[in-house]
Amino acid sequence: MDRNEFINICNSKLKLVRTEFSFSQDKMANMLGISKKTLVEIEKGRSSLGWSGSVVLCSVFFESQILRDAFTNGVLDTIHFIAFENSEPEYRRTHSHSIWWQTIAEDDNYILEQNIVSQHYRLINKNYEVIASSFNMEDLKVMMNMKGE
């Protein structure tokens, strides 16, 4: 998937996401940082969210079932992949065995941990580099199994 395809999907899902959350056009526009007029134009197919607006939509509504169905690799992971397209991944190093993290699952290559304060999850490799993070443990379990093959 490239940027344009990502943007087109976000444009086409905008009204569905707004409906999914039962937001008025005013509230949705405010949440996305755009005018109501711009929102209406996007919903009618006459304008576009563009890259930044699409990233905002997916970041704010990353738990939307509409967006999850559209981006089966994970909403935030899709953004990350597109943003770093043609780049070698650079994982940030983390501290091992921090008191803020509890191990949920572990295999020969990866460790799935949960933050005891925020309750979000992260997938790290055996070098303690963060591979991905999410509030959805199942997404990371899928990644853990796919990456381990």
Q: What is the CATH number of the domain that holds 29?
A: 1.10.260
User: Residues with Cβ < 8 Å from 40, sequence gap 6 or more?
Assistant: 25
Residue 71 — very low, low, confident or very high, per pLDDT cuts 50/70/90?
Answer: confident
Structural domain boundaries enclosing 31: 3-83
* pTM of the complete model: 0.60
Count of structural domains within the chain = 2
Q: Is the model's pLDDT at 98 over the cut of 80?
A: no
Q: Residue 88: inside a domain, yes or no?
A: no
Q: Which of 83, 111, 129 is the last residue of a domain?
A: 83
